[in-house]
Amino acid sequence: MQDTHNYIEKNKQRFIDELIELLKIPSISADSAYKEDVLKTAEAVRDSLQKAGCDTVEICETPGYPIVFGEKIIDSNLPTVLVYGHYDVQPPDPLDLWNSPPFEPVIQKTELHPEGAIFARGACDDKGQMYMHVKALEYMTQTNQLPCNVKFMIEGEEEVGSESLEGFVTKNQEKLANDVILISDTGMIANDIPSITTGLRGLSYVEVEVTGPNRDLHSGLYGGAVANPINVLAKMIASLHDENNHITIPGFYDKVEELSSEERAKMAEAPFNKEAYKKALDIDDVYGEKGYTTNERNSIRPTLDVNGIWGGYTGEGAKTVIASKAYAKISMRLVPHQDWKEITLLFKSHFERIAPEGVRVEVQPHHGGQGYVTPIDTVAYQAASKAYEKTFGKTPIPQRSGGSIPIVSLFEKELKSKTILMGFGLDSDAIHSPNEHFGVWNYLKGIETIPQFYHYFATMQE
């Protein structure tokens, strides 16, 4: 592998400009008002793959947003890498907390990104990280160094649960056949502490509705005499954790994988600065399940969090009212062996059971997915590790992440292949938050590291 550095130096301004163009399209999959933009983004991704050297690229229609599929097969005897990514983004709101408009990318220096970071929705999650693969392919084809076959599958519904992708993967096993799946949609510890993500948590997402009286009531005339759905909901939610912050749903922990003390000791070797963590979030202490460290709480332990709660009067001033209904959206992050459908049912029956007299409770399951763990004793992991050694000058630390990419476990089930999660973002890049950004250094480092992975993966095969 030669000249990656030179190629990037020569082309980096164009690489940045092209990404900025892609970031300008508001491909918000959750909001149907942006349908045309989501479709336009699929076309832009198709065009970019064509230009980067794919032999064939197609926009595959689905019941939802299309999947862009491209490939370059140089020799059917060589291994095949399947790159997965997503071109859809999260809604940008609350808009007033952005320092610059979410779809008008700007480059700004930050403490952790002294060489500048691109600020825009999707900069890191996942347009920026997905586009690194497009540019890495361009480099390998332009310099005649693509060492194996490559396929791309870039979807537009990841942020809303990858519903159409499931059918697409199940129906297209041959088309998607590969030796390893490569994804950049996670993060690493720090720019000087490279890490490879070896685990993702599963997810169960539900919405609950508590109904009391058949209409909103005067809180003086009726207050104290009927169940207030908001009071009740708050109490029910509070009861889902005990004083040690363990989740109280019966059976919730039954299948949780308990790590050995050796594995936990190994995890604890990963650098973690608690003071810096607290300072970055402006909190005076961390919080969580008793008996576990912060890094364990956010990766190997399951959690339950309210993501939104509403009901009653929230406008200006005061209105004396007992609402008829209260609502909450709740996510549970799961760990290996917990089955998301089973957990959803456990939640549902528990939540219905703890409802007091005087209210009705409904639990509506949303999407979910299984967790995933990548083995590190494989050629693919070793190839990734060597790639980082080459470009970062350090062996990357294997680290489990707390986030979820539910489709990864489906890939394993349907396509029978392992996934390598080479993420180049930082936790502080504010994905899903206002002022999301992606370091220019990280973007270029990704473009530099990916071809090394191809090189080692192709040459290390027996």
What is the nearest approach in angstroms of ligand BES to the Cβ of residue 90? 7
Which among 147, 153, 180 has a CA at the least distance from the CA of 66? Answer: 153
Q: Which of 344, 401, 409, 435 binds ligand BES (CB under 6 A)?
A: 401
Binding mask 128-157 for ligand BES (x = CB under 6 A): ------------------------------
Q: How many residues belong to the site for ligand BES (CB under 6 A)?
A: 17
The H or E element that residue 48 is part of is helix 35-52
What is the nearest approach in angstroms of ligand BES to the Cβ of residue 123? 12
Pairing, β 195-200 against β 397-400: parallel
Q: 80 or 338, CB closer to ligand BES? A: 338
The H or E element that residue 183 is part of is strand 180-183
What is the nearest approach in angstroms of ligand BES to the Cβ of residue 369? 6
Strand ranges in 103-144 using DSSP code E only, listed in sequence order: 106-108, 117-119
What is the nearest approach in angstroms of ligand BES to the Cβ of residue 197? 6
Q: How far apart are CA 166 and CA 163, in angstroms?
A: 6
Q: How far apart are CA 455 and CA 142, in angstroms?
A: 15
Name which of residues 196 to 215 contact ligand BES (CB under 6 A): 200, 203
Could you tell which of ligand BES, Mn ion, none binds residue 328, using a CB distance below 5 to 8 A set by kind? none
- Any residues with CB less than 8 A from the CB of 6 and at least 6 apart, and which? none
Q: Determine, following the binding rule CB under 5 A, whether residue 185 of this chain makes contact with Mn ion.
A: yes
What is the nearest approach in angstroms of Mn ion to the Cβ of residue 59? 20
Q: Determine, following the binding rule CB under 6 A, whether residue 125 of this chain makes contact with ligand BES.
A: yes
The H or E element that residue 67 is part of is strand 67-72
Name which of residues 101 to 160 contact Mn ion (CB under 5 A): 125-126
3-state secondary structure (DSSP) of residue 441: helix
Strand ranges in 301-444 using DSSP code E only, listed in sequence order: 303-311, 321-322, 325-334, 360-369, 372-373, 397-400, 419-421, 437-439
Which residue has the CB atom at the shortest distance from ligand BES? 403
Q: Determine, following the binding rule CB under 6 A, whether residue 404 of this chain makes contact with ligand BES.
A: yes
- Any residues with CB less than 8 A from the CB of 434 and at least 6 apart, and which? 92, 94, 95, 97, 98, 102
Q: Which of 158, 179, 436, 448 binds ligand BES (CB under 6 A)?
A: 158
Q: Determine, following the binding rule CB under 6 A, whether residue 159 of this chain makes contact with ligand BES.
A: yes
What is the nearest approach in angstroms of ligand BES to the Cβ of residue 62? 16
Could you tell which of ligand BES, Mn ion, none binds residue 187, using a CB distance below 5 to 8 A set by kind? ligand BES
Q: 125 or 179, CB closer to Mn ion? A: 125
Q: How far apart are CA 457 and CA 84, in angstroms?
A: 17
Could you tell which of Mn ion, ligand BES, none binds residue 406, using a CB distance below 5 to 8 A set by kind? ligand BES
Query: CB–CB of 98/163 below 8 Å?
Result: no
What Å distances lie between residue 31 and 18, 351, 374, CA to CA? 25, 29, 33
Binding site for ligand BES (CB under 6 A): 125-126, 158-159, 161, 185-187, 200, 203, 367, 401, 403-406, 431
Binding site for Mn ion (CB under 5 A): 125-126, 185
